Structure 1
Amino acid sequence: MSAGAPTIGVLALQGDVAEHLRHLETVGARAVPVRRRSELDAVDGLVLPGGESTAMSKLLGVYDMHEPVAERIESGMPVYGSCAGMILLASTVLDTRADATWFSAIDMTVRRNAFGRQVDSFEADLVVDALGPEPLRTVFIRAPWVETLGPDVDVLASVRASDGADHVVAVRQDNALATSFHPEVTDDVRVHRYFLDMVRQSTS
């Protein structure tokens, strides 16, 4: 593992890889793309980026990476999933393909594309409890939401959707962090700094 700045990998099979790498470097991490087990073995934490969750699920199998990633998460490696990454961290996924797989790192049920299609994408200013009182600009693109939560999951943020209800969109359970939104496509790096702090705490 790394000495000095933590090394954080971004799963580089599909999705917003470059954007996450850039934000991680900005907050002081050594950020690297991860496609192989040898690369995974060298990181202190891992980001599962936004993208297409079923495509990522399939590619994890193609690259023989599902089991290695699952083992690292189970052993306590900090992991952060945005949008599609949130889906991959859930224990139950609704409206997905029958052959899709995920990691069950957070005791929650999520619904894919819950906020609608690409044309239903939107932005909102949310107060994310772990990041302080200043609102975070959040971007939702074909995003999931959380439908049910286990007792050990901390809710960090919710958003009022077009159905008039508040839906959970940011959570943490132990070493796993997940957001429905895409902080990597804004200039605000507070989510990545928060995750870097999680990684530092796990390696101290």
Structure 2
Amino acid sequence: MQSSTHREVVTVGILALQGAFVEHQATLQKVSLRRRIHIVQVRTPEDLAKCDALIIPGGESTTIALLARLAGLLAPLRDFVKTKPVWGTCAGAILLAQAAEGTKKGGQELLGGVSVTIMRNGFGSQVESFEAPLTVDGLRDSDRPFHGVFIRAPVVLSLDPSSNDPPIEVVSRLSASLLPHNQTTIPLDAGNTDPNDPRTIVALRQGRHLLTTFHPELTKDDRFHEYFIRQCVLPSLS
């Protein structure tokens, strides 16, 4: 049996309980690498056990958590996050966070894994969804902006790593001047925004995990999916 270092196939799961998992699969299928990517739609603990890495899609975070509990997946997901690469987009970013604010009555079950506090719907409601060009460090053709699609997007309120946690690397920020009418649940001053304000962070990495508050899967651009595989998944297999 070949060791993981020399495997030619990488198995990436997509949590397929609710949300944009089909769109993630379609984009992931376009990624061209030397190693073949095998995709598993994860609905059971048995599906999850087959995976080298996992993507948690956008959708409705409370619903995804509830369905995961009903499927017996919450505990396996929490264990998975401790040892393997996970990428959370929008709702998935909320689930990956260490703490969340603005949750529904009764709170929000989280998987943890990324040492941030995040606010649900931090950029506003569905009608305040917007799109914006993003500069992203580390992407292929990084001089070409990535088209960010923000739908009821969460906002990173704070970075909270402990001394034992991997460092947090900011991958992309959103200028407050790009917000439509600057109408957000958490107002950002377009004329005087601290460049280090955590609320401007829309993509970050911590160790093997990737968090994006927007929806890369809703574009035709596969560069973020390639980034996840190259920067988070493949190094974890060596």
TM-score, structure 1 length as denominator?
0.94
After the TM superposition, which parts of structure 1 deviate over 2 Å for at least 4 consecutive aligned residues?
Answer: 163-166
| Aligned counterparts of 1:134 and 1:181: Cα–Cα separation in 2 | 17
Q: Which residue of 1 aligns with 2:196?
A: none
Q: Which residue of 2 aligns with 1:45?
A: 53
Q: What's the CA shift for 1:128?
A: 1.0
Q: Which residue of 2 aligns with 1:100?
A: 108
| Aligned counterparts of 2:138 and 2:158: Cα–Cα separation in 1 | 20
1:71 correspondence with 2:79:
yes
Q: Which residue of 2 aligns with 1:110?
A: 118
| Aligned counterparts of 2:236 and 2:129: Cα–Cα separation in 1 | 35
Q: Which runs of 5+ in 2 are unaligned?
A: 162-166, 183-187, 194-198
Q: Which residue of 2 aligns with 1:59?
A: 67
Residues 17-69 of structure 1: CA deviation (Å, up to 9, x unaligned): 11001111111421120001111010110000000001011111111101101
Give yes or no for contact 1:79–1:177 (8 Å, CA) kept in 2: yes
Q: Which residue of 1 aligns with 2:153?
A: 143
Q: In the alignment, residue 145 of structure 1 is paired with which amino acid?
A: V
Q: What's the CA shift for 1:87?
A: 0.2
Say what the alpha-carbon RMSD is for the aligned residues: 1.5
* Equivalent position SS for 2:103: coil
Identity %: 40
Give yes or no for contact 1:115–1:144 (8 Å, CA) kept in 2: yes
| Aligned counterparts of 2:27 and 2:229: Cα–Cα separation in 1 | 11
Q: Which residue of 2 aligns with 1:171?
A: 204
Q: What's the CA shift for 1:182?
A: 0.2
Aligned length: 203
Give yes or no for contact 1:80–1:178 (8 Å, CA) kept in 2: yes
Residues 167-187 of structure 1: CA deviation (Å, up to 9, x unaligned): 111111001101001000001
* Equivalent position SS for 2:127: helix
Q: Which residue of 2 aligns with 1:17?
A: 21
Q: Bigger shift: 50-59 or 159-168? A: 159-168
Give yes or no for contact 2:129–2:151 (8 Å, CA) kept in 1: yes
* Equivalent position SS for 2:200: strand
TM-score, structure 2 length as denominator?
0.81
